[in-house]
Amino acid sequence: MTAWALYSQSHPLLVEYGLACLGAGRHEGPSPGFGGRRRLGDYAIVFVTSGAGVYRDPLVGTIEIEAPATIQVLPQRPHDYASPRGWTEHWVLYTGATVAAFEGLGVLDRRRPVQLGVTLPVDLAVRFDALRGALGRPGWRGAFDASTLTQDLLADSVAGRRASPTASEATVAAVQADAALHLDVAARAALAGVSVGTLREHVREVTGGTPNELVIGTRIDRACGLLASTRLAVRAVAASVGYDDAAYFSRLFTQRIGIGPAEFRRRHRR
């Protein structure tokens, strides 16, 4: 099968309320990388079906990759991946309002962008052929079919993970899932099924910080995704990630990101 790449204009309703596929492709052979820390404006999944390479980003460092593996690329996260000796990859680019919910469910794990030793779908090439066909069809039906295929691929990228999360990682994932809720530390510990002391210990082990810092970081990460991929008002973005006071959210966002929500959207909106 030859290499290919196909992009499509995203359907505004799928972007605003669901998940839209923006493009997909296949590459076989050496890949030199991006020559620096690249930032995407949207989300991507890369399925490495053969060969080996490397992934780099400032949050996790350098990770050696050997197929089978998956790479999850997150918006505005500096990263690079390359395969000097060559590999075969299938990739899909997507965006949409529901992606924030997927992050909350643990589908997208910012701490583990690379999954090694995964079980890839046996019909992966067939699915990407179908995705290629959907992207080439004009109108709502092609966009809808591409969206459905992409969600299935996203689900399979999680189902194929080899390693079960540690107890500490499971606790962190539970906190992230409920990050938008207005809860104190005791309530978050209860929802995670651990004591307050264990909650603090597990969060510190995985993130190096406190439960409160984890909640704030998760909320701000989700806000970045919503600002970049939707037209939701800043007030609505604030409420969806857990802040009823839009002015407070804007101040906190500026402190964390260095620019306000409106300016972030202006710079990173697709």
pLDDT tens digits for 113-143?
Answer: 898 888 898 999 999 999 999 999 988 899 9
CATH number at residue 113: 2.60.120.280
Residue 3, class by beta-carbon neighbours within 10 Å (0-12 exposed, 13-18 middle, 19+ buried)? Answer: exposed
User: How far is C-alpha 110 from the chain's CA centre?
Assistant: 7
- 12 and 109 within one domain: yes
- 195 and 97 within one domain: no
- 175 and 79 within one domain: no
Of all helices (H) and strands (E), which one includes residue 73? Answer: strand 69-73
- 100 and 61 within one domain: yes
- 144 and 27 within one domain: yes
Whether the upstream peptide bond of residue 211 has omega within 30° of 0, thus cis, is: no
pTM score, two decimals?
0.67
Which residues fall within 8 angstroms of residue 77, CB to CB, at 6 or more apart?
A: 39, 40, 57, 59, 110, 113
Q: Is residue 83 very low, low, confident or very high in pLDDT (cuts 50, 70, 90)?
A: very high
What domain range is 62 assigned to?
4-159
CA distances in angstroms from 18 to 14, 57, 98, 119, 236, listed in the order given: 5, 28, 5, 27, 16
Mean pLDDT, residues 259-264:
92
In this structure, what token pair is assigned to residue 8? Answer: 């499509």
Q: Which of 159, 182, 207 is the last residue of a domain?
A: 159
Q: Which of 110, 126, 159 is the last residue of a domain?
A: 159
- 127 and 25 within one domain: yes
Mean pLDDT, residues 20-43:
85
- 179 and 237 within one domain: yes
Minimum mean pLDDT range among 134-148, 155-169, 182-196: 155-169
- 252 and 208 within one domain: yes
- 125 and 186 within one domain: no
Q: How many CA atoms lie within 13 A of 228 on its CB side?
A: 22
Q: Which of 95, 126, 159 is the last residue of a domain?
A: 159
Q: What is the C-alpha to C-alpha distance for residues 70 and 67, in angstroms, rounded to an integer? A: 8
- pLDDT score of 123: 93
For the chain, give the percent of residues with pLDDT over 70: 93
- 221 and 152 within one domain: no
- 237 and 212 within one domain: yes
The domain total for the chain is 2
In this structure, what token pair is assigned to residue 165? Answer: 């999360």
- Phi, psi (rounded to 5 degrees) for 58: -70, -15
CATH number at residue 223: 1.10.10.60
- 114 and 85 within one domain: yes
